[in-house]
Amino acid sequence: MNETFFGPGAALIVIDVQNDFCPGGALAVPGGDAIVPAVNRLIGMAGLVVLTQDWHPRRHGSFASSHRGRHPFETVEVAYGPQTLWPDHCVQGTSGAAFHGDLHVDPAALIVRKGMRAGVDSYSAFFENDRVSTTGLDAWLRARGVDRVVLCGLAWDFCVAYSALDAARLGFAVAVVEDACAAIDLDGSRVAQTAAMRAAGVSLSSMAAIGT
């Protein structure tokens, strides 16, 4: 095991490992459940663990069902710019919004719930999609001396990538463990977001490189 990967000042952020993003869920990511063992190994290595959880009210503005005549995966313009429309998913209090049953939740020091405002979606662990409203995670990490974040979870090309790019923009050193993530790959989003993360200086790592 690479003991330096989660050295002093590091935190693991596990993104949205929830039932609705796993096979059988409302917005299933291919192979979403297959990453859980790797994520659990990372949780076991990390000294500080944060989980994020999509937590939408019913009739959320990102749901295609909230827009007459629109369908999932179409894009509409909203007040803060383009918004992909999704199937209804991760509705507060439903089984779909719950963490995957095999995920090791207990070690988490913090659970960040996002997407709670009906009119604003939230992919990133740090900012809502209006790019102004914060989740408070930046300040929480800084108060604990964190300057390096490691990310994994769902989905690689949306909430993981948005979180990684925001973390880099905020001045954190950022690593993403690629094989502890899975991608939606909507219209080439996996390739595009992988390139964006590399360009932002995000380190793309693997379980093998960590030595697990």
Is there a contact between 142 and 178 (Cβ–Cβ < 8 Å)? no
State the Cα–Cα distance between residues 176 and 161, nearest whole angstrom: 9
Give pLDDT, residue 176. Answer: 97
Which residues are CB-neighbours of 144 under 8 A, at least 6 positions away? 11, 48
d(CA 155, CA 33): 11
E strand or H helix at 6, and its extent?
none
Task: Answer left, alpha or beta for residue 100, where phi above 0 means left and psi between -120 and 50 means alpha.
Answer: beta
DSSP letter assigned to residue 20:
G
- How many whole angstroms separate alpha carbon 199 and alpha carbon 3? 27
Taking 70 as the pLDDT cut, the residues of the chain under it are 1-3, 212
pLDDT tens digits for range 60-99: 999 999 999 999 999 999 989 999 999 999 999 999 999 9
Sign of the Cα torsion 168, 50, 142, 118 reads: positive
Domain boundaries, the chain: 10-58+87-210
The pLDDT of residue 212 is 66
Point out the residues that are catalytic: 16, 114, 159
For the segment(s) 10-58+87-210, the CATH number from 2.40.50.100, 3.40.50.850, 3.40.50.10470, 3.40.50.10420 is 3.40.50.850
Q: How far apart are CA 16 and CA 35, in angstroms?
A: 12
Q: What is the pLDDT at residue 5?
A: 82
Q: Show Cβ contacts of residue 156 under 8 Å, excluding neighbours closer than 6 positions.
A: 176, 178, 181, 182, 183, 184, 190, 193, 194
* 104 vs 43: CA distance, rounded Å: 7
* 197-201 long-range Cβ contacts below 8 angstroms, 24+ apart: 197/161, 197/164, 197/165, 197/168, 200/164, 200/165, 200/168, 200/169, 200/174, 201/168, 201/174
